[in-house]
Structure 1
Amino acid sequence: MPGPHDTFVRHTFDHPENAAAELRAVLPEHVVSQVDWPSLRVESSSVVDSDLRETESDLLFSARLRGGHPLLLYVLLEHQSSVDRWMALRMLRYVVRLLERWRQHHLDSTTLPLIIPLVMYHGPDGAWTAPRRVEDLFEFPGLAREQWRALVPRFEYLLDDLTAKREEALKARPGPPMARLAWLVLRYGRSEELARRLPEWVALFAQVQAGPEGDRHLAVLIQYLLLMGDQAAHTAAGQVLNLVVGGQRTEELMRSYGEELIEKGRQEGLARGVTRGRAEDILRILTARGVHLDEQARQRILTCTDVATLDRWFDKSLNASTLVDVLDTLEH
């Protein structure tokens, strides 16, 4: 079940114009200048195989370069509350799996498409500190390190660390109002600063509301703020909404989403109970079969909220003799 960050980011950036704004802000200039941006589109979820879809937070885009060369842009939208040291390894696995899947459908091709991996991060614990290169995860002998580094995979992902960006810089990024407001909300959504900053974004809220699908975008924004913000942020969101759509509409939306969030909380509580029970069943089976489980593996299983993934792990655990039989790689 996707969380509130996943839902909000996917709603925002599966629109090509918003996705283009994010990609233009992060990709190297020589790439930006060569992409045929009107050709950018979101690939269907069927492009990414089931083993990669443990969350609903990743987006895959395709585009063409100006010379007609196909380009795949894989965007992993990272919403963990802490920095993931192993992100480079995870992203390498994603890219390899995407390339393998692409090869299955292009058997006559003698080359591979370009895939550019990008992580968007907005955790509350400060700037991103994990290695961005796979080679930085290896342990090398003290002497001749560069010679050893030449023997291991070389891979690097791009990073959009919103926590390192100032408000003025995010406001100044080119792009639709919804994209700029999303960056700001993601940047400050889990901080005490949110309530103070929201009134400064009234103009952006008004631009979102006045644009295409404005009412729908505004509703998603308010829902996210009610989910993530504290009481001060709720009050500030109501005041901003009142300035944009008027008192009566604000009261209707705030009451409607308040009731909806209560019901959603109840449903999510039930869902958590189901997934937690399934995860504990997997742990019991593996323990009974004598499979060693370190703490990292235990937490990965216990914190997984995707029912399909848990079902797959459960089926594999019935005949497992090692942990690798169940979890292909320990990504987190």
Structure 2
Amino acid sequence: MSELVNPHDKLFRALLDDPIRAETLIREYLPPALRDRLADARPELVDGTFVDARLRGSQSDRLFQVRLKSGKPLLLYVLLEHKSTPDPGTPIQLLGYSARIWERYGEGRTEKLRALPPIIPLVFYHGSAVWQVPASVIDCLDTDPEVLDLVRDFRYVLHDLKPIAYERLSAERALRAGLAALKFAFERGLPLADMVRMLEDLPDGGMFEKQFFEYVVAVYDMPVQTLLDAVALAKPEREEILVTTIAQQWVNQGEMRGRAQGIKEGEAQGQRKAILLALETRFGDLDIKVRAHVAKIPDADLDVLLRRVLTASTLEGVFDDSQWH
């Protein structure tokens, strides 16, 4: 599979890639009547990427197989919907996914095609507009009620993250932080307290912490100082480490923009932003002369300067030319 290109998809898939978090998500967000019928065995991740050509930028979908207490299999298709405008084609999209899952499951064998497992689509939405899309293809059909009674009803379960209170997103802290990051992604001027809550729930170290900050740097429209203040309040003992992580994400974002444009300006821009971010964190508000000096540093020297920002004991020491080599 090609590398995921959408930051929303990458974070959501990161949540589901952990078996324990995936199980928690499934058990917390399934309808209670169905959840009570699940066996104790952990959900099993199944190869289930069935993305249409027109939707190749959205690859966060995951397919899990669980067992009911009766022993029969049940497939759960988990999809993140992050369009700012709800997609009226979602019911047909999910029906198409289900059909392809059943085709692959059946393997063309009569006995399997006549004993297909039910598929329950779970859709998580965190866009800006209110979701008003029908939950079933049957609700999109224009026909007489008597005809509709003859049509089987395919419904998915929607969880709009926006109205869910932070503490109700999940009982598991890492999962709660990740879902909250998606929940707040399109908010402008996110309150400092909300970012602090997410960071307090975020596990220290590990791949998910890196993925979390990668997402925030790529997606969030918020002042740099707000993010730095949140780090200082939530994790003061790890502030220096996290500032380095955030700075590296700025560099990575710049490199990706540079590759996409076929030029180096994007990479240099990201590095300069990382340098200013680290300088503000370590030495406080920056004089306009310092900002101007950073803007004039040759691109070839930016890597060296960033390392010095993170190791120099004083602001003057960062720019002491006698220590450059």
The TM-score, its normalising length taken from structure 1, stands at 0.70
Q: Which residue of 1 aligns with 2:116?
A: 112
Asked if the contact 1:61–1:74 (Cα under 8 Å) also holds between the matched residues in 2, the reply is yes
Q: Shift of residue 259 of structure 1?
A: 0.5
Asked if the contact 1:62–1:73 (Cα under 8 Å) also holds between the matched residues in 2, the reply is yes
Q: Which residue of 2 aligns with 1:201?
A: 198
1:129 aligns to what SS in structure 2? coil
The C-alpha deviation readout for 1:230-257, integer Å capped at 9, x for no partner, is 242x333323334425332133112211
Asked if the contact 2:181–2:198 (Cα under 8 Å) also holds between the matched residues in 1, the reply is no
Which is higher, the Rg of structure 1 or of structure 2? Answer: 2
Considering Cα pairs closer than 8 Å and 6+ residues apart, tell me whether 1 or 2 has the greater RCO.
1
Q: Shift of residue 68 of structure 1?
A: 2.0
Q: Which residue of 1 aligns with 2:269?
A: none
Q: Which residue of 2 aligns with 1:293?
A: none
Q: Shift of residue 138 of structure 1?
A: 1.6
Counterparts of 1:38 and 1:241, CA distance in 2 = 38
Q: Shift of residue 151 of structure 1?
A: 3.8
Q: Shift of residue 48 of structure 1?
A: 4.1
Counterparts of 1:32 and 1:105, CA distance in 2 = 31
Residues 69 and 151 of structure 1, relative CA distance in 2, 3 Å threshold: closer
1:164 aligns to what SS in structure 2? coil
Q: Which residue of 1 aligns with 2:183?
A: 187
Q: Shift of residue 166 of structure 1?
A: 2.5
Listed as ranges, the matches of 1:210-221 within 5 Å are 214-221=205-212
Unaligned 5+ segments in structure 2 are 263-325
Counterparts of 2:213 and 2:65, CA distance in 1 = 30
Counterpart amino acid of 1:192? R
The C-alpha deviation readout for 1:28-69, integer Å capped at 9, x for no partner, is 21221222343312113xx44575873312111112122321
Counterparts of 1:7 and 1:157, CA distance in 2 = 22
Q: Which residue of 2 aligns with 1:160?
A: 159
Q: Which residue of 2 aligns with 1:236?
A: 226
Counterparts of 1:50 and 1:188, CA distance in 2 = 26
Counterparts of 1:123 and 1:48, CA distance in 2 = 22
2:158 aligns to what SS in structure 1? strand
Listed as ranges, the matches of 1:169-318 within 5 Å are 169-170=168-169, 173-174=170-171, 176-196=172-192, 197-205=194-202, 208-209=203-204, 214-232=205-223, 234-242=224-232, 243-244=234-235, 245-269=237-261
The C-alpha deviation readout for 1:258-292, integer Å capped at 9, x for no partner, is 1111112223446xxxxxxxxxxxxxxxxxxxxxx
Counterparts of 1:24 and 1:133, CA distance in 2 = 22
Q: Shift of residue 3 of structure 1?
A: 0.4
After superposition, the CA RMSD in angstroms is 2.3
Asked if the contact 1:20–1:37 (Cα under 8 Å) also holds between the matched residues in 2, the reply is no
Counterpart amino acid of 1:166? A
Unaligned 5+ segments in structure 1 are 271-332
Counterparts of 1:261 and 1:128, CA distance in 2 = 31
Asked if the contact 2:189–2:221 (Cα under 8 Å) also holds between the matched residues in 1, the reply is no
Count, aligned residues? 253
